[in-house]
């Protein structure tokens, strides 16, 4: 039996699963769970101390699912408590705050922490990840846009949701899709079902869009050395255009990346004799 496979009493009927929340402190993990389970929102920040545990029941198709939710503290101080709880998990709610770039950039470190604690026999492929871009109600402070978050999530085969624990937007949809995906995973022998979006663009396209977003100038964006010749600029441009052309690439953010590349090439060619 696969390491992450849930305990099942009777095939087709009840199922017991374990889900955990992950992400930096104060991004809204506990509020998302509270919004779904208790239909309420608490605006005062009450940091989770170590772990909060809860049980809930949900119905997915003909199955009754008993869900054990482990809501983890995001503060680094609680690492020693968290690391006990990563194993035997079927689903992860991975949260960042759209107004806190750091919390988005920390997602990779959260995956790394989980991977390390699962050890060499742990398999992250058997786990459903639902990435929540939370606090979308705070529109004024938003600094991580939808395409950036969606690209990060979908290029890894993760689900992506825009959520607000405050207004409730996206929360029910997230949990419903999350639970259905976990049941699909269990029925698929413990393998994560391939989502349409994750199959529709390549890792190279996703990595290139991310690189373009983070590039420091037009040279960097085209991936050529400062002072490169017209030929070199055009060659680099053609390669990126083929990869990112809107007719060929449906990855989130590809249109903006394509436009940025066109503009970078125009700007560089103006100044090269």
- The residues binding ligand GTP (CB under 6 A) are 25-31, 42-48, 73-75, 134-135, 137-138, 164-166
Q: Which residues contact 12 (CB under 8 A, 6 or more apart)?
A: 62, 63
CB-nearer residue toward Mg ion: 18 or 29: 29
Given a contact cutoff of 8 angstroms between Cβ atoms, the answer to whether 140 and 151 are in contact is: no
CB-nearer residue toward Mg ion: 48 or 126: 48
**Counting contacts by CB under 5 A, is residue 166 touching Mg ion?**
no
Minimum CB distance to ligand GTP, residue 43 (Å): 4
Q: Going residue by residue from 31 to 70, which x/- string records binding to Mg ion, judged by CB under 5 A?
A: -----------------x----------------------
Minimum CB distance to ligand GTP, residue 104 (Å): 14
Minimum CB distance to ligand GTP, residue 36 (Å): 12
Minimum CB distance to Mg ion, residue 73 (Å): 6
CB-nearer residue toward ligand GTP: 47 or 267: 47
Cross-strand partners of 64:
14, 59
- The item of Mg ion, ligand GTP, none sharing an interface with residue 89, based on CB under 5 to 8 Å by kind, is none
- The item of ligand GTP, Mg ion, none sharing an interface with residue 113, based on CB under 5 to 8 Å by kind, is none
Minimum CB distance to ligand GTP, residue 87 (Å): 20
DSSP, residue by residue, the chain: --TTPPEESSTTSEEEEEEEEESSTTSSHHHHHHHHHHS----S-----SEEEEEEEEEETTEEEEEEEEEE--SGGGHHHHTTSSTT-SEEEEEEETT-HHHHHTHHHHHHHHHHHH-TT--GGGSEEEEEEE-TT-GGG--S-HHHHHHHHHTTT-EEEE--TTT-TTHHHHHHHHHHHHHHHHHTTT-PPPPHHHHSS-HHHHHHHHHHHT-SSHHHHHT--TT--HHHHHHHHHHHHHHH-TTT--STTHHHHHHHHHHHHHHHHHH--
CB-nearer residue toward ligand GTP: 30 or 89: 30
CB-nearer residue toward ligand GTP: 137 or 184: 137
User: Given candidates 4, 24, 30, 254, which one binds Mg ion under the rule CB under 5 A?
Assistant: 30
- Sole window of 27-35, 97-105, 143-151, 208-216 interacting with Mg ion (rule: CB under 5 A): 27-35
Minimum CB distance to ligand GTP, residue 21 (Å): 7
């Amino acid at each position: 039996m696969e390491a992450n496979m849930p305990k099942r009493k009777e095939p087709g009927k009840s199922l017991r699963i374990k889900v955990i929340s992950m992400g930096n402190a104060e991004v809204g993990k506990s509020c998302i769970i509270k919004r779904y389970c208790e239909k309420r929102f608490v605006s005062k920040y009450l940091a989770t101390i170590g772990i909060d545990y809860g049980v809930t029941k949900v119905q997915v198709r003909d199955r009754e699912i008993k869900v054990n939710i482990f809501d983890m503290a995001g503060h680094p101080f609680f690492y020693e408590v968290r690391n006990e709880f990563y194993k035997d998990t079927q689903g992860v709610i991975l949260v960042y705050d759209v107004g806190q770039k750091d919390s988005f950039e920390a997602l990779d470190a959260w995956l790394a922490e989980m991977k390390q604690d699962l050890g060499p026999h742990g398999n992250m492929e058997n786990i459903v990840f639902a990435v929540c871009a939370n606090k979308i109600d705070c529109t004024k402070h938003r600094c991580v846009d939808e395409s950036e978050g969606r690209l990060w999530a979908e290029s890894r085969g993760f689900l992506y949701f825009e959520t607000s624990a405050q207004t409730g937007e996206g929360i029910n949809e997230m949990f419903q899709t999350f639970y259905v995906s976990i049941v699909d995973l269990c029925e698929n022998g413990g393998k994560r079902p391939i989502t349409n979006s994750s199959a529709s663009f390549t890792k190279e396209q996703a990595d290139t869009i991310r690189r373009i977003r983070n590039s420091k100038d037009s040279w960097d964006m085209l991936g050529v050395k400062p002072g490169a010749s017209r030929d070199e600029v055009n060659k680099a441009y053609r390669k990126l255009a083929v990869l990112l052309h809107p007719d060929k690439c449906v990855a989130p953010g590809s249109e903006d990346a394509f436009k940025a590349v066109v503009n970078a090439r125009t700007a560089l060619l103006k100044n090269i004799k």
